[in-house]
Structure 1
Amino acid sequence: MKRLIQRGLMFGNLIRIDSPALVERYNRALERLTRKRTALSEFHIDISGYSYEIGEELGDHLYLNPNGVNRLFIILTTEQKRAPLLNAQFSTSRGILKQFIEENEAKLFALTAQDAVAGELDNSVFEVTAPARLFDIRKITVVADTTQSHVANARKLADRIERFQTEPDGWYDDVLIAEMIELAKRTGDVTRQPIDLAHATYEQGNFWTAHFGGIYIFRDVATPAAITVRPRADVGPMPIEAFDLTMRNGIATFLEMNDLVEPVIKARGVDGAAILRQKMDFILVDAATTQGLPIDGFDPRSLHRLAQRMGSALPEEFLKLNALVRWALNGGKWPRIASDSPAYFYTLRARPDHPDRDLVNQLLSELAPLDIRQLFITHKPAFYAAYRDWPDAKKEYVAEFLASDYAANKAGAREALFGGRNPAPTPSGPWEAKDDILDLVGPWGAVRR
């Protein structure tokens, strides 16, 4: 993993904690949440306050995520909103934490000036013993306070102020006034500077979870389904129809029926042929390095010569995408690619205006794993797991490509590949009007049921 770390592709954008004051605040919060402390004088934290170094020290990388549900968090600075979430067990967790920090940024800035904020993403499910239990998770409530209970005390003070102003004898209640004075010493003037953190609740409709080897749950669509990474028979009963990654025709039908994807080559405002050519390079490098073939270079001309040398040894994915690129550039007969072809899911991307665009693109990255750029962007745990087993030549190519091509302009690359940010929710279902034959039958003709 050294190549990735040196190029900032792993453990990047973490927050460095190295001042004694912040370390002590972190320890107070950590002790409150887990009854543990760290002896480290410096470490790095993600958006939730999790630290890989502390996980190593404690021998428990789930120290802020017991049982993989109800994630705990520690906020030392609002700058954590820019950090990634490591060891994510649910695809929605980082988005919820980021939204919570942004919605309460002024209050959190004031609170973290003197203390750490500790809390929990409470989903009312304390353990997931079977896949069916995942469907009990519907809403996530963020519960948070400082280690010195500033929020709880502010609520008490606000309640005392309300009583003081409304009760007929409030002005003469010495006990009530004494309580207000004592609480105000700890909280300040909550009438002018409110510090209450509301128990914000967020919906968790469609999501991915790392539990049970990885499961995608789409229940808020017209035709619900779950998609498992492990073989379907190994996962057990679920309340909705389920597929595993080998059931490609079923997954293709599900994506089309719910209007979740579009063909890259027909996507508006992008150079679909260029995107597919890049995918072909990834597939070519994988095939060559797997076969132990020497690679003269990774520039376009060198890769073109490599493809010529491989000839009949080129994989089906490469040949099918090449036919599609030829059609895009030169016209001619439309190259039909069936959903059971290994090239099929490389030709798709999530519809950019769909609220679950990122989740769908993550699913597509598992169905088209040789597209290392999309795998890295949308599903880092799967990328890192795959990276460990690659030949050194492929590791070097991938690390260099991501550092020079993607990391240099992350926002631009994401927009070019997946469309604009913040897609607005739109209704979906078979009753919507269609004005494009591709929308009616899919990119390569009717999907086989």
Structure 2
Amino acid sequence: MKRLIQRGLMFGNLIRVDSPALIERYNRALHSLTGKRTALREFHIDISGYSYEVGEELGDHLYLNPNGVNRLFIILTTEQKTAPLLNAKFSTSRGILRQFIEENEAKLFALTANDAVAGELDNSVFEVSEAARLLDIRTITVNADTTQSHVKNARDLAAKIERFQSEEDAWFDDVLIAEMITLAKTTGDVTRQPIDLARPTYTQDNFWTAHFAGLYVFRDVAEPAVISVGPKEPLGVLPIETTLDFADRNGIAAFLEVNELVEPIIKARGVDGAAILRQKMDFILVDAATTQGVESDGMDHRALHRLAQRMGSSLPEEFLKLNQLVRWALNGGKWPRIASDDASYFYTLRARPDHPDRDLINMLLSELAPLDIRQLFICHKQAFYTAYHDWPDAKKEYVAEFLYRDYAANKAGAREALFGGEEPPAKPVSPTPKDDIIELVGPWGAVRR
């Protein structure tokens, strides 16, 4: 992983904690949440306050995520909103944390001036020993306060002020007045400067979870389904209409089509589909060459073109099929039909850019088309790091250099060009009508079931 760390592709954008004051605040919050403390004098934290260094010290990298549910968090600064979320167990967690910080930024800025804010993403499910329990998760509520209970005290003071103003004999209640004075010493004037943090609740109808080797849960669609990365049989019976696994490529393709979740890259508006597919071909070519031990005289486009010529009949099927699509885009002619059970099929798709779960769909596609290392890195870093560990050194070097040169230099531009639009926000709780299914035929024609 050294190549990735040196190029800022791993553990990047973390927040450095190295001042005694911040470390003490972190320890107060850590102790209030877990009963533990750190002796480190310097470490880095992600958006949730999790630190890899602290996890190593404690021998527990789930110290802020017990049982992998109801993630705990520590906020030392609002700058954490731009940090990644490490060891994520649910795809929705980072979006919820970022939105919570942005929506309460002024209050959090004031609260973290002298204390840390600690809290929990509460989903009311405390363990997931059975896969069916994951489907009990419907909403996530954010509960947060400082280690000195500023928010709780402010709520108590506001309630006492309301009682003082509304009750007829409150002026003569010395106990009530004394309690108000005591609370005001720590909260200040909450009537002029409210410090109460909202307790927002977000829906989690469609999500990915790392539990059970990886599951994609889609409930807020016309035809709901759970898609398992591994074999579905160990999951048992789930309370949902359809359960699929990655071995059922036709079933997954049909699910994506009937719910109108994807579109062909080559026909997408506002993008150079041929250029995107050519880049995917390069990734597939490099994987094939490094796996077969075929050396290249370089990794630029011309060198890879010469490499493809030399490999000839040993070129992988995915490479050849994508090349047919590129030729059609550049020269016209007969439309190349690609069946859903073809190895190249999912490389030709992307999520519809206007779909609220666009990132989740692209995350699923990145695992179904894992040789597209750029999409895998952008959409599913955990799967990327796992795959990277087993690659040949030549591929590791190519991938690290490509991502550093091509993606890291303009992350927003690359995401826009590949997937379109900005990152969708987390969905607050509110009933939303489902769209009618208009088209039942996919981009390459009817899918074989």
TM over 0.5: yes
In the alignment, what sits opposite 2:190?
190
In the alignment, what sits opposite 1:245?
246
In the alignment, what sits opposite 1:226?
226
Aligned in 2, Cα 1:209/1:263: closer, same or farther, shift over 3 Å? same
The number of aligned residues is: 443
Q: Report how far residue 265 of structure 1 moved.
A: 0.2
Is the contact made by 1:283 and 1:318 (CA closer than 8 Å) also made in structure 2?
yes
Which is further off, 189-198 or 9-18?
Answer: 189-198
SS state at 2:97 partner: helix
Is the contact made by 2:88 and 2:210 (CA closer than 8 Å) also made in structure 1?
yes
How do 1:55-74 residues align onto structure 2 when only pairs under 5 Å count?
55-74=55-74
In the alignment, what sits opposite 1:169?
169
SS state at 2:195 partner: coil
Is the contact made by 1:352 and 1:420 (CA closer than 8 Å) also made in structure 2?
yes
Is the contact made by 1:47 and 1:80 (CA closer than 8 Å) also made in structure 2?
yes
Residue 148 (structure 1) aligned with residue 148 (structure 2): yes
Is the contact made by 1:264 and 1:348 (CA closer than 8 Å) also made in structure 2?
yes
In the alignment, what sits opposite 1:384?
385
Is the contact made by 1:14 and 1:45 (CA closer than 8 Å) also made in structure 2?
yes
The Cα offsets for residues 19-72 of structure 1, whole Å up to 9 and x where unpaired, read as: 000000000000000000000011000000000000000000000000000000
In the alignment, what sits opposite 2:323?
322
SS state at 2:202 partner: strand
The 2-side partners of 1:428 and 1:360 are apart by 17
Is the contact made by 2:17 and 2:44 (CA closer than 8 Å) also made in structure 1?
yes
The Cα offsets for residues 379-436 of structure 1, whole Å up to 9 and x where unpaired, read as: 000000000000000000000000000000000000000011155999655543xxxx
The 1-side partners of 2:11 and 2:169 are apart by 59
The 2-side partners of 1:273 and 1:428 are apart by 33
Is the contact made by 1:257 and 1:429 (CA closer than 8 Å) also made in structure 2?
no
The 2-side partners of 1:71 and 1:429 are apart by 32
SS state at 2:133 partner: helix
Amino acid aligned to 1:18: D
The 2-side partners of 1:420 and 1:162 are apart by 45
In the alignment, what sits opposite 1:202?
202
SS state at 1:207 partner: strand
In the alignment, what sits opposite 1:346?
347
Residue 256 (structure 1) aligned with residue 257 (structure 2): yes
Is the contact made by 1:259 and 1:429 (CA closer than 8 Å) also made in structure 2?
no
CA RMSD of aligned residues (A): 1.2
Is the contact made by 1:258 and 1:430 (CA closer than 8 Å) also made in structure 2?
no
The 1-side partners of 2:288 and 2:34 are apart by 47
The 1-side partners of 2:334 and 2:375 are apart by 29
In the alignment, what sits opposite 2:421?
420
The 2-side partners of 1:194 and 1:40 are apart by 35
How do 1:329-408 residues align onto structure 2 when only pairs under 5 Å count?
329-408=330-409
The 1-side partners of 2:291 and 2:34 are apart by 45
The 2-side partners of 1:422 and 1:53 are apart by 29
| Structure 1 residues without counterparts, runs of 5 or longer | 433-438
In the alignment, what sits opposite 1:14?
14
- Identity percentage over the alignment? 81
Aligned in 2, Cα 1:268/1:138: closer, same or farther, shift over 3 Å? same
How do 1:98-109 residues align onto structure 2 when only pairs under 5 Å count?
98-109=98-109
SS state at 2:120 partner: strand
Q: Report how far residue 441 of structure 1 moved.
A: 2.6
Is the contact made by 2:285 and 2:308 (CA closer than 8 Å) also made in structure 1?
yes
Q: Report how far residue 372 of structure 1 moved.
A: 0.1
Amino acid aligned to 1:163: R
Residue 42 (structure 1) aligned with residue 42 (structure 2): yes
Amino acid aligned to 2:117: V
In the alignment, what sits opposite 2:52?
52
The Cα offsets for residues 340-368 of structure 1, whole Å up to 9 and x where unpaired, read as: 00000000000000000000000000000
Q: Report how far residue 232 of structure 1 moved.
A: 1.4
The 2-side partners of 1:333 and 1:309 are apart by 27
**Structure ranking higher on relative contact order (CA contacts 8 Å, 6+ apart):** 2
Q: Report how far residue 86 of structure 1 moved.
A: 0.2
Which is further off, 361-370 or 417-426?
Answer: 417-426
The 2-side partners of 1:237 and 1:209 are apart by 18
Aligned in 2, Cα 1:259/1:428: closer, same or farther, shift over 3 Å? farther
SS state at 1:420 partner: coil
The 2-side partners of 1:234 and 1:265 are apart by 37
In the alignment, what sits opposite 1:96?
96
Is the contact made by 2:259 and 2:437 (CA closer than 8 Å) also made in structure 1?
no
Residue 290 (structure 1) aligned with residue 318 (structure 2): no
Residue 272 (structure 1) aligned with residue 280 (structure 2): no
Is the contact made by 1:259 and 1:428 (CA closer than 8 Å) also made in structure 2?
no
The 2-side partners of 1:308 and 1:402 are apart by 25
The Cα offsets for residues 279-307 of structure 1, whole Å up to 9 and x where unpaired, read as: 00000000000001111101111000000
